[in-house]
């Protein structure tokens, strides 16, 4: 296994800068997800690591060795794509063992290795079949097994689970998590599915329009999203974002927005700094930090009309259209007896919201060092 370093990597297709300038340091044994919306440059970045695409600028090292100009086959990596690309005329066993065959491994050994990895992925009973005789989920696990059968410096995955149905996807995700954590393999995994990135990653690189906007462990990304983009991309439902205007009353700061009412804020150094540039801020609240409130007692509240009340069993998703027109969702335990289009309000605690400045950049919390 090996570390991977991207140093000022860029990629242009003609005049278009698809990847601007990416620095990314992946430690040996890490599972890093490249997470972002379609078209943000995830696949291009992965293909540059694989050597299938030549960077326009910058350098790539795998295991400390500069591989920027190395052929894909000389990078010692395993790769899994979205489509399974199995050989239709070969049995599952031969498909899995293929990378060993091309490396000249003896038949008995390679079938033993194939069987071993197939057992781990619960396809051990299918080894004699042809790809057409197994399900899509089983084909995908075969393609995973084929990539994993040969020890590599690192494994690269491009949305490998996206063709599976929801249930298979969650199951295959747990396999991958277990496999990576138990073997300590270095993995780079492209996905637009934030839940997949949260579940699998040691660190997530959130990408937007050819840039990495935040690179941190999943819970750090979840708790301290660097920008409103990250906040609105991670979480299901994502963080609620409501525009507010700040006014200063002596040492207090009052935040007001359409459908938003908040208690005065005292002594928040980073907020003071941000307000020197602009009085526009965005208030972010995670759905699980909202609760339904009746009457006017709550000091931090969002109020509007009930748009939807979805009972999911253990929890409910309750959505309000705020008076300002913004839609916000609360995730509450159990169920709520609220009628569609009735007046309703959510409350949230003073330590349960995040502020972003006029540029959408997170303002460090009241207790954090403002220079962070």
Ligand X SMILES: Nc1ncnc2c1ncn2[C@@H]1O[C@H](COP(=O)(O)OP(=O)(O)O)[C@@H](O)[C@H]1O
Catalog residues that contact ligand X under the rule CB under 6 A: 13, 18, 36, 38-44
* CA 312/CA 214 separation, integer angstroms: 32
Task: Find out whether 173 and 180 touch, Cβ atoms under 8 Å.
Answer: no
Q: What are phi and psi of 328, to 5 degrees?
A: -130, 150
Give the strand order in the sheet containing 4-13: 16-26, 4-13, 57-62, 65-66
Residue 191 C-beta: closest distance to ligand X, Å: 10
Nearer to ligand X, 57 or 183 (CB): 57
* 261 in contact with Mg ion (CB under 5 A): no
Q: What is the DSSP letter of 315?
A: E
Nearer to Mg ion, 43 or 214 (CB): 43
User: From the list Mg ion, ligand X, none, which binds 13 (C-beta under 5 to 8 Å, kind-based)?
Assistant: ligand X
The residue range among 25-33, 39-47, 112-120, 322-330 that interacts with Mg ion, by the rule CB under 5 A, is 39-47
Nearer to ligand X, 40 or 126 (CB): 40
User: Using omega within 30 degrees of 0 as the cis cutoff, is the peptide bond preceding 237 cis?
Assistant: yes
User: From the list Mg ion, ligand X, none, which binds 151 (C-beta under 5 to 8 Å, kind-based)?
Assistant: none
Residue 204 C-beta: closest distance to ligand X, Å: 14
Task: Find out whether 144 and 136 touch, Cβ atoms under 8 Å.
Answer: no
Residue 72 C-beta: closest distance to ligand X, Å: 16
What 3-state DSSP class applies to 237? coil
Nearer to ligand X, 48 or 221 (CB): 48
User: From the list ligand X, Mg ion, none, which binds 282 (C-beta under 5 to 8 Å, kind-based)?
Assistant: none
Nearer to ligand X, 208 or 273 (CB): 208
Residue 200 C-beta: closest distance to Mg ion, Å: 17
User: From the list ligand X, Mg ion, none, which binds 205 (C-beta under 5 to 8 Å, kind-based)?
Assistant: none
Identify the residue among 6, 18, 41, 43 touching Mg ion (CB under 5 A).
Answer: 43
* CA 349/CA 262 separation, integer angstroms: 10
Among 58, 40, 39, smallest CA distance to 48 is for 58
Residue 190 C-beta: closest distance to ligand X, Å: 6
User: From the list Mg ion, ligand X, none, which binds 86 (C-beta under 5 to 8 Å, kind-based)?
Assistant: none
Residue 9 C-beta: closest distance to Mg ion, Å: 16
Binding mask 212-231 for Mg ion (x = CB under 5 A): --------------------
* CA 205/CA 161 separation, integer angstroms: 19
Distances 249 to 255, 323, 326, 366 between C-alpha atoms, Å: 11, 25, 27, 18
User: From the list Mg ion, ligand X, none, which binds 39 (C-beta under 5 to 8 Å, kind-based)?
Assistant: ligand X
User: From the list ligand X, Mg ion, none, which binds 40 (C-beta under 5 to 8 Å, kind-based)?
Assistant: ligand X
Nearer to ligand X, 41 or 365 (CB): 41
Residue 34 C-beta: closest distance to Mg ion, Å: 9
Residue 192 C-beta: closest distance to ligand X, Å: 7
Nearer to Mg ion, 96 or 176 (CB): 176
Nearer to ligand X, 32 or 274 (CB): 32
Plot region of 225 (φ>0 → left; ψ -120 to 50 → alpha; else → beta): beta
Show the 3-state SS of 246-286. EEEECCEEEEEECCEECCCEECCHHHHHHHHHCCEEEEEEC
Nearer to Mg ion, 41 or 99 (CB): 41
Class of residue 109 by CB neighbours under 10 A (exposed 0-12, middle 13-18, buried 19+): exposed
Helices (H) and strands (E) in the chain, counts: 9, 22
Residue 218 C-beta: closest distance to ligand X, Å: 19
For the chain, give the number of residues.
Answer: 372
User: From the list Mg ion, ligand X, none, which binds 44 (C-beta under 5 to 8 Å, kind-based)?
Assistant: ligand X
Q: What are phi and psi of 143, to 5 degrees?
A: -70, -35
Pairing assessment for the beta strands 77-80 and 154-158 based on DSSP bridges? parallel
Total residues at interface with Mg ion (CB under 5 A): 1
Q: Which spans of this chain sit near Mg ion (rule: CB under 5 A)?
A: 43
């Amino acid at each position: 296994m090996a570390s991977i370093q991207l140093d000022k990597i860029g990629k242009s297709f003609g005049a278009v800068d698809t990847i601007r300038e990416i620095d990314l340091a992946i430690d040996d044994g890490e599972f890093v997800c490249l997470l972002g919306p379609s078209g943000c440059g995830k696949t291009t970045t992965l293909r540059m690591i694989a050597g299938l695409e030549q960077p326009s600028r910058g350098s790539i090292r795998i295991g400390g060795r500069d591989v920027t100009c190395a052929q894909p086959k000389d990078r010692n990596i395993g790769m899994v794509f979205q489509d399974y690309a199995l050989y239709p005329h070969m049995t599952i066993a031969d498909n899995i063992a293929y990378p060993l065959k091309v490396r000249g491994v003896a038949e008995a050994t390679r079938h033993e290795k194939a069987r071993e990895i197939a057992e781990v992925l619960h396809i051990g009973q299918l080894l004699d079949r042809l790809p057409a005789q197994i399900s899509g989920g089983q084909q995908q696990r075969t393609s995973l097994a084929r990539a994993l059968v040969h020890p590599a410096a690192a494994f690269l995955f491009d949305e490998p689970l996206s063709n599976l149905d929801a249930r298979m996807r969650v199951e295959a995700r747990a396999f991958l998590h277990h496999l990576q954590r138990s073997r300590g393999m270095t993995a780079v995994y492209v996905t637009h599915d934030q839940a997949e990135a949260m579940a699998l990653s040691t660190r997530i690189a959130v990408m937007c329009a050819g840039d990495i906007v935040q690179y941190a462990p999943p819970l750090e990304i979840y708790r301290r999203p660097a920008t409103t983009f990250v906040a609105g991309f991670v979480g299901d439902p994502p963080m609620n974002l409501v525009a507010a205007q700040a006014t200063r009353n002596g040492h207090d700061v009052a935040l007001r927005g359409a459908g938003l009412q908040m208690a005065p804020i005292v002594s928040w150094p980073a907020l003071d700094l941000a307000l020197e540039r602009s009085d526009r801020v965005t208030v972010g609240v995670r759905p699980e930090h909202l609760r339904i409130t009746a009457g006017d007692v709550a000091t931090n509240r969002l109020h509007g009309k009930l748009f939807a009340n979805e009972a999911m069993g253990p929890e409910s998703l309750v959505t309000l259209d705020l008076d300002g027109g913004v839609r916000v969702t609360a995730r509450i335990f159990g169920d709520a007896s609220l009628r569609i289009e009735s007046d309703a309000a959510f409350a949230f605690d003073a330590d349960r919201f995040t502020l972003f400045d006029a540029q959408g950049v997170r303002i460090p919390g009241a207790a954090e060092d403002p220079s962070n």
